[in-house]
Amino acid sequence: MSPLEGVVLFGAGAVASAINSVAGGGSLITFPVLTVGLKIPALVANATNAVGLFPGSLASGLGFKDHLGKTGVYFKKLLIPTMLGSILGALLLLNTSEVAFKIIIPFLILFASTLLWFQPKVKAMLAKSDHQMVSPKVGLILQFLVAAYGGYFGAGMGIMMLASFALYMEGNTHELNGVKSLLGTVINFVASIVFVIQSSVSPKPLILGSYALVLLLGGIVGGYAAARMSLKVDPDKLRIAIAIYGFIMTAYFFYKIFA
């Protein structure tokens, strides 16, 4: 990694961590930087990105630990299906060929960008939801599926969790965000463990340690800066900008497939 690449990657990690704290969708920044900018194979970039951004996710999750309220009981019930789903998603990624993943990438980015674009609709649904639409048992299945998606790719999983919580979970916005952040941390942590183990036993490393470390350091700086950014930046405008960027990246990756 050249000094210039290190600076770019550090900046991307800082921006992604700050964006995750303010609006969400940080992986839509770092993943294209790794693949398009630094020419890292898609599978390796995805795993490296997950490990590199995990500390920022952990800090966010711990920051919400005192805001669980009546959703704390849901965290305990959803912990096991979250871990199992994340393991499944990570294993599915490890068993996806590089060629197949390149084809899947634009669909994943399109899906994540669309979720980010319609995030206010999710918030409105949360505000109106004052009763359970599905049983808690169905909620366990929904969380397992969301965690599997998170272990496989990750971008947009927070919005998916909030949407599913609205169907069966009682609590205000802060309490739902609290359990979402903690479960998101679990998903990233478990997937990162799977990727690290695989990388340690594979003759072809799945994680580029130096790149993940630079992302991690950038994420720490970005997390600190996010406290100030949240007071100056309109989260809604930032959300729209990141979603539009995601749509542009979607078009680029589709072009790469069919060009």
Q: Which of 20-29, 176-185, 203-212 has the lowest mean pLDDT?
A: 20-29
Q: What is the pLDDT of residue 26?
A: 78
Q: Does the predicted model carry a pTM greater than 0.85? A: no
90-110: pLDDT as tens digits:
999 999 998 898 899 899 889
Alpha helices by DSSP H, listed for 33-97, are 42-63, 72-94
Q: Are 25 and 156 in contact (CB under 8 A)?
A: yes
Q: What is the pLDDT of residue 169?
A: 79
Average pLDDT, stretch 43-67?
A: 76
22-49: pLDDT as tens digits:
666 778 888 889 998 899 998 899 899 8
Tokens representing 217? 């350091």
246-259: pLDDT as tens digits:
899 899 889 888 77
Tokens representing 144? 């397992």
